[in-house]
Amino acid sequence: MGFFLPFASAAAGAPVSPAATTVFNLGPLPVTSSMLALWGVALLILAVVMAGTRRMAMVPTGAQNLIEATVEAVYNMVAGLLEPKVARWAFPLIATYFIFILLSNFVDLLPGVGSLGYGHAKEGGLPFAVEHVDRPLLRPPTADANVTISMAVIYFVLSTIWALVYNGPMGLMKHIFGVKGKMGGVLLLPMTIIFFCVGLVELISIMIRPISLSMRLYGNIYGGESVLTLMLKILPYGIAAVPFYFLELIVCAVQAIVFTMLCVAFTATLCSHSEEESGQH
């Protein structure tokens, strides 16, 4: 007869669930394994920021040096692709996303993540020997589609606001559907129809950007978690998973960069003037 064991280590187990499991409930609110990891990441960020900004120095050291180097690197990335005004709008969100996603992805590499939790005991086995973990205690936040979709939707809403403020409502419509370049005479009407159709395609592309952003990040981190879980079962002591840990380390860093760079690139397509428009301002 099976029963739940807290913090039991899984020697073997079922495939990783696509959805985060509920660990416990706070009234009507279910607290999932990804939420616990997310709170841990948030507390870590707050602790480092508080430690680095408590005593600011002209020559930064320690946590202050880490914070300033990270912020400067992200700002240079954003400022290099966006106009100064737009960069000031986008930088706080992009920097927050980069740091949060990077740390959240690395949660997947911590010992015990996905393998410690509540499980069914083996019949006649040791007290903490289980067949598999049914409810992991921790799960990488970015391996939960709810988290990645939320981030993508927040970006979509803010980027739409930035585009409206930058271009104006009519300017944004012209930016998407308007004829590019100097067209006149008999070519004006057919080119207007062509660019209107191109604008419809662009509008569809803008609308599906949240799906593209969220599913790319979720799929890569969830896939990496599944591969590591599988490799840990192939050979004793998880020897087969060692090379995949190094590969996942690279994937975690790359996916944080890809998500934020795509956010910057998408913003640049909506908040920029063509050479013709720039000459008129």
Burial code (b: 16+ CB inside 10 Å, e: under 16) for 131-147 equals bbbbbbbbbbbbbbbbb
Taking residues 190-215, what's their average pLDDT?
A: 88
Taking residues 239-265, what's their average pLDDT?
A: 89
Cα radius of gyration (the chain): 24
- pLDDT bucket at 141, cuts 50 / 70 / 90: very high
Tokens describing residue 166:
């930058």
Read off the amino acid at residue 94: I
* Adjacent-strand bridge partners of 4: 120
Q: What is the DSSP string of 230-241?
A: HHHHHSGGGGGG
Taking residues 199-209, what's their average pLDDT?
A: 90
| Residue 226: exposure state from Cβ atoms within 10 A (0-12, 13-18, ≥19) | middle
Do residues 225 and 16 lie in contact, with contact meaning Cβ atoms separated by under 8 Å? yes
Q: What is the pLDDT of residue 163?
A: 94
| Residue 37: exposure state from Cβ atoms within 10 A (0-12, 13-18, ≥19) | buried
Do residues 227 and 252 lie in contact, with contact meaning Cβ atoms separated by under 8 Å? no
pLDDT tens for 32-79 read: 889 999 999 999 999 998 888 888 878 777 888 888 888 899 999 899
134 or 196, which is more confident? 196
The model's pTM: 0.83
Q: What is the pLDDT of residue 12?
A: 44
Q: What is the pLDDT of residue 43?
A: 95
* Adjacent-strand bridge partners of 9: 116, 129
Distance of alpha carbon 54 from the chain centroid: 29
Read off the amino acid at residue 110: L
- pLDDT score of 89 more than 90: yes
- pLDDT bucket at 185, cuts 50 / 70 / 90: low
- pLDDT score of 256 more than 50: yes
Tokens describing residue 140:
């990488």
